[in-house]
Amino acid sequence: MPTSFKALAELCEKLEKTTKRLLMIQLVADFLKRLEPDEVKPAVSMILGRPLPTYSQKTLEVSWATLSEIIKRITEVEWKVFMSIFGKTGDIGSATKTVFEKSKVKKQATLLERELTIKEVKRSFEAIAEAAGQGSREKKERQIEVLLSMASPLEAKYLVKIFIGEMRTGFSEGLMEQAVSKAYQVPLDVMQKASMVVGDICEVAEIARKKGLEGLSAAEFKVFRPVKLMLAQMASNVAEALKEHGGKTAFEYKLDGARVQIHKLDNEVKIFSRRLTDVTKSLPEIVEIVRKNVNAKEAILEGEVIAVDSLGNPVPFQHLMRRFKRVHKIEDAAEKIPVRLYLFDILYLNGKSLISLPYIERRKILAENSGDIPLTEQIITKNRKDAEKFLKQALDDGHEGLMAKKPESVYTPGIRGKRWLKIKPVLEPLDLVIVAAEYGYGRRHAWLSDYYLAARDAEKGEFLIVGKTFKGLTDAEMVEMTRQLKELAVKEEGRRVLVVPKIVVEVAYNEIQKSPKYKCGMALRFARINRIRDDKTPEDADTIQRVREIYERQFLKKGRYKTE
């Protein structure tokens, strides 16, 4: 019997009300056991707040402005009721539930409605994502209105949360791996390995349900299905990196570009961004370079694309992002913003996964299969002075700093660890999310140009403000930022606009100080935006735990008052 979406919403409501991880895992495991095989993938995706699988290249492209207009139309409730509830809870889903409960129109309609199922909701999300071309906006709105019209208040709460990607139940992908392991009685380590290789816990859960341990053990890379990237932590200097890696490590240039994952099968090449979005059409010259130089039948490679000037010198990251956004008149863009590819890793070659090999072996295999495509500059050394000289050379060449990679390290997709370290000779910048903005003054009076910056609480899933700034963006960037933020606007409080946390920016600052102004108890001093990180999602943003770690680390060299 098909599982109702109401059952999934009720599960999410229980998750939201508990902080006990073992109980959360048990609740989800019990729910998964009851699902039909073809319900597992969409259910897992929705519980994690995703309307579509991670590997899907389609997006809903639905703004909060559109959603709010549809909710007003369906419920006929005065919008000040929504704003009042949102002001008390700060949760869009809860405010939606309340207006649905207060709607007389919705109550009458609900009596005549049949129950929504998980599979019906999945089909609705797919139809919304597939609407394209002339009249696509109207098609999307009709689909959304039909879906929400069928929903009960509780279902509407979680549909809206999934639409905007802000689930806030505290149930992470790591906990989902444990729940799937428990539900289908498969070892957690096998689950986690399959999840790394496949790159999507939703698909892995489906394999576990249908094929069990045997299916998970056979999970392999699949060309053109992007894999999560291995992530790095920060190191203060080369000495710290050498110590962490046992006295010897591989230092590489850290380029100021965009990380890409390149897939090749025969003569077909696809390029995926850090967010695993297909950017192939935006980089035709990179596709051609890979075709000409990589002779392997099948390969998954990693590299960095940088923008360069007429002399081949690297230029700032924001120029490169214009290329990644461009899908029309590519030839003009390629002429104005030429790009260059550097490779640094290989994950898969001719049917064989390489991620379990030591890094230095992967690098050797990469060099043998990259043709004339340059690899990132590298030295392997035990000598601190040699490493510091190499760092200076990287900076003199216009790059950001160095990566330090433990020579014997395996590749762990989606995992952030100390096997890879980033070294930048400045105070560590933070990737933060804009959660609100204010209109400026003078010539900025029409722009949302003063931004509230938040870090993600890794335990609770909420975003906590750590500072605000109006510095760093150009006028053109502020105009575009205003347009985007207005589409994400949830509530207006005088000159301040609260927004759905979607836009990530890299923020520089002088220090982190204690502050009673914000809930987290900390604030960035002299914050300024370095660049807009279109290549990152809110889930990629730095956590409040990392901000606190940096704050505490400041006192290794500084004194602190007794009240600290």
Is residue 270 annotated as a catalytic residue, yes or no?
no
Q: 4-42, pLDDT tens digit by residue?
A: 999 999 999 999 999 899 999 999 999 999 999 999 999
Phi, psi (degrees; rounded to nearest 5) at 508: -95, 160
Which of 144, 164, 184 terminates a domain? The answer is: 164
What pLDDT is stored for residue 329 in this prediction?
A: 61
Q: Is 233 helix (H, G, I), strand (E, B) or coil?
A: strand
Residue 445's alpha-carbon distances to 131, 448, 468, 483, 500, in angstroms, are: 36, 8, 17, 14, 22
Whether residues 17 and 106 fall in one domain = yes
Identify the burial level of 520 via C-beta atoms within 10 angstroms of its C-beta, where 0-12 means exposed, 13-18 middle and 19 or more buried: middle
pLDDT greater at residue 313 or residue 144: 144
Taking residues 533-560, what's their average pLDDT? 80
Question: Could you tell me the pLDDT band of residue 88, with boundaries at 50, 70 and 90?
Answer: confident
Whether residues 525 and 395 fall in one domain = no
Q: 397-419, pLDDT tens digit by residue?
A: 888 899 999 999 999 998 889 99
Classify residue 540: in a domain, yes or no. Answer: yes
Which of 112, 139, 164 terminates a domain? The answer is: 164
Residues β-bridged to residue 454: 433, 465
Cα separation, 212 vs 352, in Å, equals 22
pTM given for the model: 0.79
Identify the burial level of 81 via C-beta atoms within 10 angstroms of its C-beta, where 0-12 means exposed, 13-18 middle and 19 or more buried: middle
CB 444 within 8 A of CB 470: yes
Whether residues 21 and 104 fall in one domain = yes
Exactly one of 182, 254, 264, 405 is catalytic; which is it?
254
Token representation of residue 278: 């297909």
Question: Could you tell me the pLDDT band of residue 108, with boundaries at 50, 70 and 90?
Answer: low
Whether residues 334 and 354 fall in one domain = yes
What pLDDT is stored for residue 563 in this prediction?
A: 42
What pLDDT is stored for residue 89 in this prediction?
A: 73
Whether residues 417 and 511 fall in one domain = no
Q: 152-187, pLDDT tens digit by residue?
A: 999 999 999 999 888 888 898 889 999 999 999 999
pLDDT greater at residue 111 or residue 530: 530
Most confident of 23-27, 127-131, 275-279: 23-27
Token representation of residue 336: 């104005």
| 314 contact partners, CB below 8 Å, separation of at least 6 | 255, 256, 257, 306, 307, 308, 397, 398, 399
Cα separation, 445 vs 468, in Å, equals 17
Whether residues 406 and 437 fall in one domain = no
Classify residue 195: in a domain, yes or no. Answer: no
Classify residue 186: in a domain, yes or no. Answer: no
Q: 431-451, pLDDT tens digit by residue?
A: 999 999 999 877 788 899 999
| DSSP strand pairing (268-272 vs 249-254) | unpaired
To the nearest 10 degrees (0 to 180), the angle between helices 136-149 and 118-130 is 160
State the chain's mean pLDDT as an integer: 89
Whether residues 263 and 411 fall in one domain = yes
pLDDT at 110 over 50: yes
Whether residues 47 and 160 fall in one domain = yes
Classify residue 465: in a domain, yes or no. Answer: yes
pLDDT at 555 over 70: no
**Structural domain boundaries, residue 15:** 5-164
Whether residues 446 and 471 fall in one domain = yes
Q: 221-272, pLDDT tens digit by residue?
A: 999 999 989 999 989 899 999 999 999 999 999 998 899 999 999 999 999 9
What pLDDT is stored for residue 552 in this prediction?
A: 83
Domains in the chain, number: 3
Which of 139, 164, 189 terminates a domain? The answer is: 164
Whether residues 414 and 529 fall in one domain = no
| 32 contact partners, CB below 8 Å, separation of at least 6 | 40, 43, 44, 179, 180, 183, 184, 205, 209
Classify residue 138: in a domain, yes or no. Answer: yes
Question: Could you tell me the pLDDT band of residue 121, with boundaries at 50, 70 and 90?
Answer: very high
pLDDT at 561 over 50: no
Cα separation, 322 vs 307, in Å, equals 10
Cα separation, 539 vs 537, in Å, equals 5
The sign of the dihedral angle between the CA atoms of 180, 115, 109, 63 is positive
CB 469 within 8 A of CB 528: yes
Classify residue 490: in a domain, yes or no. Answer: yes
Taking Cα atoms as reference points, which of 307, 235, 230, 318 lies closest to residue 274?
230
Phi, psi (degrees; rounded to nearest 5) at 49: 85, 20
Instruction: Mean pLDDT check: name the lowest of 196-205, 313-322, 346-355.
Output: 313-322
Whether residues 258 and 351 fall in one domain = yes
